[in-house]
Amino acid sequence: MFESRKSGILLHPSSIPSPFGIGDFGGDAYRFIDELAVAKQTLWQILPLCPVDSGGSPYQSTSAFAGEPLFISVDLLVDEGLLTQNEVEAKKLATFHRTDYSVARELKMPLLRRAFENFRKEEYPKAYEEFLEENKGWLEDYALFMAIKAFFIEKRKEDDKDLLEFNRDTEGFLSEEKVRGYFYSACWCSFPKELRERKAETIVKWRELLTNNVQWECFLQYLFHKQWRVLKSYANENKIQIIGDAPIFVSYDSADVWANQKAFQLNGLGFPTVVAGVPPDYFSETGQLWGNPLYQWKYHEKTGYQWWTSRIRKALEDVDILRIDHFRGFESYWEIPFDAVDAREGQWVKGPGKKLFRRLEKALGELPLIAEDLGIITEEVHKLREKTGFPGMRVLQFAFGQDKNHPYLPHSFNQNTVVYTGTHDNNTTLGWYENAAEKEKDHFRRYMNVTGEAPNWDMIRLAFSSPAQLAIIPLQDVLGLGQEYRMNQPGTTEGNWSFAFDWDMWNDGCTEGLKYLSRLFGRNHG
């Protein structure tokens, strides 16, 4: 699929330096691209750009199509005349060490509201009208969904008399904790019945009632996509491709599920009958109970996989290459009862397999996809990936201390591979080495004939020298950061998604090291 050997960096925009509590699409993102170009890197991998959940995770989002508004650069809005320099400067933080979504919302949302009011004072530009038209397939449902949620969240803070009625409607199907959680977060399952079931006249009524808030949501998406597309074009002009990330599943409380209920396994009340997760593995002894609703694959097949085609088309407009998270779920997925305590109660169920990808190829042409095939992988999953031609993934941190021909060791994998020192779910390489068993450390040192004094650069060298066509390195490993800088720890809900770096961490040695290894191992084409 990929014509030449390439390498690059894994870094989510949220981790880019910023005085607003979160990285964005402004000047420092352009500086990051410049640094990649100087270091002769040609890939920038990101996590999903979609709106994050309350904990900052982009893997439980209100939309598989929308973008996170906090990535909008308010500095760039000064250039457009939507904000003044003084307004923006007054909100900037003196220091910025960790990504903090709550702080970012407090600082940026009032500024974005002000920009919205200024935007509405003038005639809407043609580009805005074109954006609304080109994206109405997902944007209309998303904007209304978010406006309705915001309405009920505020209403229920002051008046919760509808809680008892919602409790009765669930017919004892939910625990009291879930009832309250869904109610106060204004999950779509707690909407009034006609709205929950999307009665046509009810949708029209609420769209008119919440016109201003619907327009607000559309405005945010317009700014997000406008700024991101310009930033992506800048990367492409510098010979850097963007690798995006698409979670296989979507969040239950999302515009995707609310607007496409037949596409998911839901009961008559709108609740999932079964949910997604994975069985016990390296990360968790009890498995991972993700809680996402599972697809009604027969319905998708009947519609010609229309929703999936729209989703992948949109994703490939936003990025150049797309990593499909949990690829194995297309062959078989772990189905867990909705009321299960943990993931151990699940079972494997067959997925759509090659039929889905055949349909996507027919509609979209050659698919520049990467299959995340980590975890418990069967021969059937390997065969599916081979049939699609998508490259698989290998994580070097998983390779040591076990079988001398472990599939993640470079001498065991082929060219059609994307190799990582670690992913966003792994410890940093320094953190991994410090916590590794002596058996792993010994294997690591002997495999590369090194002392282990600089394990992060040893691992980067191993990735670059491997036969894998693409090599991706988390920025933490380039900067030599310890475990306190890891991005996510699967199976936990606290302290994740907060990694941010400072430019003081990036020195000439980082740039020269990447440049040298890229040239040495044929990954430099600049």
Catalytic residue positions, numbered: 325, 372, 425
Which secondary-structure segment (H or E) carries 337?
strand 332-337
Give CA separation, 406 vs 10, 394, 412, 413, in Å.
24, 11, 7, 9
In DSSP notation, 246-304 reads E-SS--SSSHHHHH-GGGB-B-TTS-BSEEEEE-S-SS-TT-EEEEEEPB-HHHHHHTT
**Partners of 295 in the β-ladder:** 264
Q: Which long-range contacts (CB under 8 A, 24 or more apart) does 406-411 make?
A: 409/447, 410/462, 410/465, 410/466, 410/467, 410/468
Which secondary-structure segment (H or E) carries 148?
helix 136-158
Q: Which class for 23: exposed (0-12), middle (13-18), buried (19 or more C-beta within 10 A)? A: buried
Q: Whole-angstrom Cα distance, residue 138 to residue 256?
A: 8
Size of the chain in residues: 526
- Residues 6 or more apart whose CB falls under 8 angstroms from that of 254 comprise 61, 62, 63, 64, 145
- Residues 6 or more apart whose CB falls under 8 angstroms from that of 126 comprise none
**Partners of 306 in the β-ladder:** none
